[in-house]
Amino acid sequence: MLASVFHAHSCREAGNRNNKATMKIEKRIFGQMPDGEKVHIFRLTNKNGMIADITNYGCIVTSLKIPGRSGEVSDVVLGFETLEEYLGDHPYFGAVVGRYANRIAGARFELDGRVYNLAANNGNNHLHGGERGLDKRLWDYEIVQSAEGSEMLLLSYLSPDGEEGYPGNLAVQVIFDLNNDNELRIIFRAETDKATPVNLAHHGYFNLTGGREPVTGHELRVNASRYTEVNEELIPTGRLLAVEGTAMDFRDMKPVGRDISDVAGGYDHNYVIDDTGGKLNKAAVLYDPSSGRQLEVLTTQPGVQLYTGNFLDGSIAGKDDIVYGKHWGLCLETQHFPDSPNQASFPDVILRPGEEYLETAIYRFSVR
């Protein structure tokens, strides 16, 4: 399964790939697992001074350093400095989550006449793959070259049949590619030997101020005229509601905090991206007026989860001893819709033998 990394890389590319990265990927030991197995961290650097640090534990982007308007380089993602902190309890900082990102109602689904029971690790529901999802696994690693000759980080994991209750042996690859257009490209691939739901997402918490202020002062645009209505447990009702005339409307740039008090608990909602159809589309734009940093998010997926760090409560201190209070980070998780295995009207998430799961997310940074 998943024999060719190069096919995946070229399948849904967009933009100019002649602007190759000039630096080699650096590797060092990050720590070790409780059983003694070594964990590595990889540094991807481009010619503009952008640096991405990624570990093969959970495919976590531990650091993303971006220049601002004044030239100052700051780390724009929440996270930790040590592996030990990531091995502890934290809210999925920077990880790849799955097998199924987001929530599955009642921690169960029916597929081909059989009911599968999953871990109820979010109240009555299943969240981000269960007790030990992909974010808590040690992945194999390989440094590979694209057709253009730049180095990419390839992380792979074989999730065995029955792991966390899911059917099928699922072979997963995640490719990280940093280019000189200040794009961190993440390509998700998977194949299975038994029908199974798959929904992979990058769960980065962004703060374009470098963690100095909450994200409520950021400005955001989301390319979505509808969102999936949810109940009090944040499970979709099946209805797609219009954002027009509501606090959910981000079709034009506005401060994240402007209407947040009108949304019970804060934003934690899946937006239905306009103009999808499996091609690469711009899902969102995030801008910090103080530093001038801007983030554009592109995806082949039909949805993006906007989460404004509502459950951060000041109990976690991250890098540089910054205390992560409420709304200290903002997630833009490109994904399929929550609870799709139980929602027949939502886009299909079932991967079957002989098919390939292939999705792309691009995080493009600039200054203005």
**Under CATH, to which class is 5-367 assigned?**
mainly beta
Residue 331: which of 100, 93, 90 has the closest Cα? 93
Catalytic residue among 202, 333, 336, 359: 333
* 333 is known as an active-site residue: yes
Q: Where are the domains of the chain?
A: 5-367
Is the Cβ–Cβ distance between 84 and 32 less than 8 Å? no
Residue 269: which of 301, 310, 299, 316 has the closest Cα? 310
Structure tokens at 315: 């109990």
Is the Cβ–Cβ distance between 139 and 59 less than 8 Å? yes
| Distance of alpha carbon 88 from the chain centroid | 20
* Residue 111 amino acid letter: L
Catalytic residue among 90, 203, 327, 336: 203
Q: What pTM did the predictor assign? A: 0.93
Give bridge partners of residue 308 from the DSSP assignment.
none
Question: What is the residue-level pLDDT of the chain in tens, covering all 368 positions?
Answer: 665 433 333 333 333 444 554 468 999 999 999 999 999 999 999 999 899 999 999 999 999 999 999 999 999 999 999 999 999 999 999 999 999 999 999 999 999 999 999 999 999 999 999 999 999 999 999 999 887 778 999 999 999 999 999 999 999 999 999 999 999 999 999 999 999 999 999 999 999 999 999 999 999 999 999 999 999 999 999 999 999 999 999 999 999 999 999 999 999 999 999 986 668 999 999 999 999 999 999 999 999 999 999 999 999 999 999 999 999 999 999 999 999 999 999 999 999 999 999 999 999 999 99
* 151 is known as an active-site residue: no
